[in-house]
């Protein structure tokens, strides 16, 4: 793998959902040795520290059921501008969460740099809800819909443009918990989804080969958004919304290794590490190990 200049951005966001602790995710990932691991692989790592997230009182905004809307918009906008500045200087943004609502800001800052950005959404969930379809009002279940231009105007129009990504340029991998509104949206927009059924039946090798081939010919950049709850809770217990029957640790390493070999990624984020729910920082350690494979680490 060609050595990269990686800019590390922490986003201690916990306002997109209701369980405390995920704001400590970036610190846990750093403690697990992400900088040292990537530098050992020969990459240059510039840790830009954490985006400031206002820890506002957790409330519904008056005209919407979305929790903490104003604070999430503010944090997302700050992240979008930070990511944009990283892309402007030609570095690879590696973003550490924080709950998955941070992808709203990540994609807003990244997508401006590309004509046809692709997205690999590695997650147990589709994150395709809106205020109308969400059973909870938690924004961490909405970032992919927002990035498609569907949702509250304040979220959709961050950095004053929409959409950030087109449905035909999205691949969801590992889905096993989808709300009814999400299933309908997937069918309406023709979004490519590999559920756990496909992974079990086809194997991760074929899934990743198809995903890479699907995106490679029609995109000029690809963003990986990896939610640790995409993995089975036995391998990644420190997440806010675990779903049993997920992708294994070894399958996830294979997926990252194949993405490294494909050399299609231009940015990445790892989200939903919650140390309070974890076992001896196991989930952050798994995240760092997967980053190692993603950035070219091999046994031999």
pLDDT in tens, 34-82: 999 999 999 999 999 999 987 655 555 556 678 889 999 999 999 999 9
pLDDT of residue 27: 98
Catalytic-labelled residue, pool 227, 232, 269, 297: 227
pLDDT higher than threshold 70 for residue 122: yes
Catalytic-labelled residue, pool 43, 125, 152, 253: 125
282-294 vs 249-262: helix crossing angle, rounded to 10: 30
Q: Tell me the two tokens of residue 189.
A: 């927009």
CA proximity to 100, closest of 148, 133, 142: 142
91 in catalytic set: no
100 in catalytic set: yes
Q: Tell me the two tokens of residue 282.
A: 């196991």
Give dist(CA 261, CA 181) in Å, integer: 35
123 in catalytic set: yes
Percentage of residues of the chain with pLDDT beyond 70: 97
| Other residues' Cβ atoms within 10 Å of the Cβ of residue 188 | 9
| Other residues' Cβ atoms within 10 Å of the Cβ of residue 281 | 17
Classify domain 5-294 at the CATH superfamily level.
Ureohydrolase domain (3.40.800.10)
pLDDT for 208-255, tens place per residue?
999 999 999 899 999 999 999 999 999 999 999 999 999 999 999 999
H/E stretch holding 74 reads: helix 69-88
Q: Tell me the two tokens of residue 122.
A: 């590695």
Residue 299: band (very low, low, confident or very high) from pLDDT cuts 50, 70, 90: confident
CA proximity to 256, closest of 211, 300, 218, 192: 211
pLDDT higher than threshold 70 for residue 136: yes
127 in catalytic set: yes
Give dist(CA 129, CA 140) in Å, integer: 9
Catalytic-labelled residue, pool 23, 50, 140, 154: 140
Is the CB of residue 69 less than 8 Å from the CB of residue 152?
Answer: yes
pLDDT higher than threshold 80 for residue 157: yes
227 in catalytic set: yes
197 in catalytic set: no
CA dihedral 241, 246, 251, 257 (to 10 degrees): -30
Q: List, in sequence order, the alpha helices (H) in 91-203.
A: 103-111, 143-147, 153-156, 180-189, 196-202
| DSSP tag of 194 | E
The β-bridge partners of 170 are 119
| DSSP tag of 12 | -
Give dist(CA 225, CA 267) in Å, integer: 9
Give dist(CA 114, CA 137) in Å, integer: 31
Compute the average pLDDT of residues 19-44: 96
Catalytic-labelled residue, pool 99, 127, 232, 278: 127
Catalytic-labelled residue, pool 14, 50, 229, 269: 229
The residues near 87 (Cβ < 8 Å, ≥ 6 apart) are: 93, 109, 110, 112, 113, 267
Catalytic-labelled residue, pool 50, 99, 100, 232: 100
CA atoms within 13 A on the CB side of 51: 32
CA proximity to 67, closest of 99, 24, 96, 28: 99
**CA 97, 273, 126, 19 torsion: positive or negative?**
negative
The residues near 160 (Cβ < 8 Å, ≥ 6 apart) are: none
The residues near 246 (Cβ < 8 Å, ≥ 6 apart) are: 124, 174, 176, 196, 229, 230, 231, 232, 233, 235
Give dist(CA 149, CA 167) in Å, integer: 10
Catalytic-labelled residue, pool 23, 99, 123, 269: 123
């Amino acid at each position: 793998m060609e050595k990269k200049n990686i800019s590390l951005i922490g986003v201690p966001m916990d306002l997109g959902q209701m369980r405390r602790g995920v704001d400590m995710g970036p610190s846990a990932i750093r403690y697990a040795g992400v900088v040292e691991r990537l530098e050992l692989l020969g990459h240059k790592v510039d840790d830009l520290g954490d985006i400031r997230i206002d820890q506002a009182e957790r409330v519904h905004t008056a005209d919407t059921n979305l929790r903490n809307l104003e604070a999430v918009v503010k944090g997302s906008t700050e992240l979008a501008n930070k990511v944009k500045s990283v892309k402007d200087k030609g570095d690879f943004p590696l973003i550490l969460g924080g709950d998955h609502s941070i992808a709203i800001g990540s994609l807003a800052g990244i997508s401006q740099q590309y004509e046809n950005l692709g997205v690999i959404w590695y997650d147990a969930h589709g994150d395709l809800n809106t205020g109308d379809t969400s059973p909870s009002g938690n924004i961490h279940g909405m970032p992919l819909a927002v990035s498609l231009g569907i949702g509250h105007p304040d979220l959709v129009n961050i950095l004053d443009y929409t959409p950030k990504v087109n449905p035909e340029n999205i691949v969801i991998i590992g889905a096993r918990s989808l709300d009814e509104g999400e299933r309908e949206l997937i069918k309406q927009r023709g979004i490519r989804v590999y559920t756990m059924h496909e992974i079990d039946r086809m194997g991760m090798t074929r899934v990743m080969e198809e995903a890479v081939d699907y995106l490679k010919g029609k995109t000029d950049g690809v963003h990986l958004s990896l939610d640790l709850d995409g993995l089975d809770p036995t391998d990644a217990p420190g997440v806010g919304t675990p779903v049993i029957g997920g992708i294994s640790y070894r399958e996830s390493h294979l997926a990252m290794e194949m993405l490294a070999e494909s050399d299609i990624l231009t940015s990445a984020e790892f989200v939903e590490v919650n140390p309070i729910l974890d076992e001896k920082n196991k989930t952050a350690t798994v995240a760092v190990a997967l980053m190692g494979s993603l950035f070219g680490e091999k046994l031999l």
